[in-house]
Amino acid sequence: MSGVCREVITLQLGHYSNFVGTHWWNLQDASLSYDPESPLAEIQSDAVFREGQTLGGQVTYTPRLISMDLKGSLRTLRQEGNLYDPGAGSSAVPWEGSVAMHRQSPPQKNSFLEDLEKLDKGEILAEAAFCSASQLRRTGAVSVDAFNSQLARLQKNYRLEGSVAVWSDFLRIHLHPRTVTVIHQFNHDGEAHRLEAFGQGESVLQGAPLDELEDKLHFFVEECDYLQGFQVLCDLADGFAGLGSKVTELLQDSYGGRGILTWGLAPVGHRDSSPVRDLYHLLNCALGSAHMAAHSSLFCPLTLRGGLGRRPAPPPQFPLLTYDPALWYHSSSVLALALDALTVPYRLRNNGAPMWQVADSLAVSGRKVVAAYGAVPFPMMPGGSLPDALSACSDALPWKPLSACPEGGDGRCYGQWATLRGFEGQELISRPSPGIKPQTPLHTLHSGEDVLAAYVSSFYPSAPLALQLVSSPSKLTPPFPQIFSPSLDAQGFLRSLAPPPGAPSPPISSVPVLTSLQSGPALHPWLSELHRSASAFDIRRLAPSFLSQGPEMADYQEALEDLRLLARCYRDDSSGAMRSSSEEEDDD
């Protein structure tokens, strides 16, 4: 089915998931292309975007997306969006009772949103650097490809670190009126009515909210010709873990023949953290992982935390990034860059792999939890070759953990899917002069796929491996944060010469990224530790309120048992190595 568009419906559940999702959609918008000869056309944008029309006949291009968040989380964003006039065609009914006036100042927009509003009003040219490609599609002002070629010259550098409070503060694109759902019984800010516990999230999806979700799902599903499945981004550490468990169960029951790829998101830290809330976060992660893994084709935690327990290790250090892990605006951008590559296989225009194939290649023998790793960005020299870049990493793999799960280091892996995105302008193979001896065995190979496969297999000799190589990089447009090392040039490649001290760094317009999805024995200690931490105390004594709105104690214990059994699926005794007594006890 090469060239056939297999549609994907995205669900974003929770505030941090919407942070990651907003960056991800901004990246997709920056890479939109309608020229089949363009390198950007490798990605099938119509897989995740939909075309529609306003009541006035204006063409729109919006994400095929359902987003759920709490009361007070939108700030300046209207729930129904700005593409349609919700009052158009309706007749006003006069009110004859008394009227009380309450004046409230609207939230202040940052500089990026102010410029975006001027663009919509026609006060500034559509060619301005902050204009989105989908807006150009909607207005027809200039071709998207022409706009993208101008972007590097026109890029306006926004510094929003101090002004981003919610995800809509850096949203570039318009959303469909059916996209956003606000859960009004819980507040985004403040101490009262917070969605903190798994059972609270489960209780949300009933009655009117359930009907609303089903209506939105039917709307997006019915307009698809070849729906391949759903990608679900769900907060893992708060009450949205319970909501996500119910949503994935609904998807499994209603659309069981489709792929369900669930990404469990967790920030490095939370505001107003406390020992009790840290305990809640641990329990939500444990229950959410067990339930969403059971209801999904594949489940992958995504986080820059060093672990999901109460005392995690420090976040991973990326050599070419200068990001602040505690800042949601930064950490979510790193995860979005990785997710842009991780989701490439089922978004390719040609020679891609549908969701079910990705899941089936990794979720073998009940192992539906996978771990993600990423080199963000992947270090490449301009004008160099893939063998040169990989041979420079011969001692250790260049990627870092993105699932709080360190690699095992023993070369054992049940399955792996590696994706390299962004080698545009680079040679995939070495082309030495006649008579020159190849530097490494990688320099003797005759295709980029062979080069990458040989490199990964040198660390995982017997693991099944699937590969995707995509020429076009992840395109960065404002307001993506400039979190990159000064040693990178504007295209995200390593500079041949170090910049002078104090020299300003050029705005980075694109980056290459290398990612890996893995199923292997490394997940056994990770899942076992999550189970052990959640089972180590008496919840009825230390956190009785956690169960006040569900689940029942029997259901809670059953979920922990499911997590323990899930961990056992990843136990590998083939090496004959002695296991620790704590591992033995946990498996009993």
Per-residue tokens: 496? 């041949």
**Section 328-341 average pLDDT:** 98
% of the chain surpassing 90 pLDDT: 60
Kindly give, in sequence order, each residue whose CB lies less than 8 Å from that of residue 440, ignoring residues fewer than 6 positions away: 387, 391, 394
pLDDT band, residue 258 (cuts 50/70/90): very high
pLDDT > 50? residue 436:
yes
Q: What is the mean pLDDT of residues 231-247?
A: 97
* Burial zone of 573 (CB within 10 Å; 0-12 exposed, 13-18 middle, 19+ buried): exposed
Mean pLDDT of 85-89: 49
For residues 587 and 514, the model is more confident at: 514
pLDDT (0 to 100) of residue 134: 61
Q: Could you tell me the end-to-end alpha-carbon distance of the chain, in angstroms, rounded to an integer?
A: 47
Q: Which residue has the higher pLDDT, 84 or 444?
A: 444
Nearest 5°: the CA angle 338, 329, 146 is: 65
Q: Is the pLDDT assigned to residue 219 strictly greater than 50?
A: yes
> Per-residue confidence at 575, pLDDT binned at 50, 70, 90?
very low
Q: Give the pLDDT confidence of 437-476 residue by residue, as tens digits.
A: 888 999 999 999 999 999 999 999 988 999 999 999 999 9
Check pLDDT > 80 for residue 35: no
* Stronger pLDDT, 221 or 109, i.e. the higher one: 221
Q: Are strands 180-187 and 65-71 parallel, antiparallel or unpaired?
A: parallel
Structure tokens at 537: 């105390």
Residue 179 · residue 21 · CB < 8 Å: no
Quote the CA–CA distance of 103 and 462 in Å, as a whole number. 67
Is residue 148 predicted with pLDDT exceeding 60?
no
Q: Is the pLDDT of residue 89 over 90?
A: no
User: pLDDT band at 34, cuts 50/70/90?
Assistant: low
How do the residues of the chain divide into helix, strand and coil, expressed in percent and rounded to 5? Answer: 35, 15, 50
**For a pLDDT cut of 70, what percent of the chain falls above it?**
85
Mean pLDDT of the chain: 86
Query: Which pLDDT band holds residue 104 (cuts at 50, 70, 90)?
Result: low
What Rg, from alpha-carbon coordinates, does the chain have? 24
Considering only residues 89 and 567, tell me which one the structure prediction assigns the higher pLDDT. 567
Mean pLDDT value of segment 404-423: 89
- SS3 category, 548: strand
In this structure, are residues 478 and 130 in contact, taking their beta carbons and an 8 Å threshold?
A: yes
Q: What tokens appear for 347 in the block?
A: 């978004």
| Pairing label, strands 510-511, 474-475 | antiparallel
Cα 90 versus chain centre, distance:
39
Mean pLDDT, residues 125-131: 51
In this structure, the number of other CB atoms found within 10 A of the CB of residue 130 comes to: 22
What CA–CA distance (Å, rounded) separates 332 from 327? Answer: 8
Is the pLDDT at 135 greater than 80, yes or no? no
Rounded Cα distance, 469 and 376, in Å: 16
* pLDDT at 210 (0 to 100): 94
- pLDDT tens sequence across 343-387: 999 999 988 999 999 999 999 888 999 999 999 999 999 988 999
Predicted confidence (pLDDT) at residue 506 exceeds the cutoff of 50? yes
Q: Which residues contact 304 (CB under 8 A, 6 or more apart)?
A: 267, 268, 315, 316, 325, 331, 334, 335, 402
pLDDT at position 175 over 50: yes
| pLDDT the model gives residue 143 | 43
Q: Is the pLDDT of residue 537 over 70?
A: yes
Dump pLDDT digits (tens) for 550-568: 889 999 999 999 999 999 9
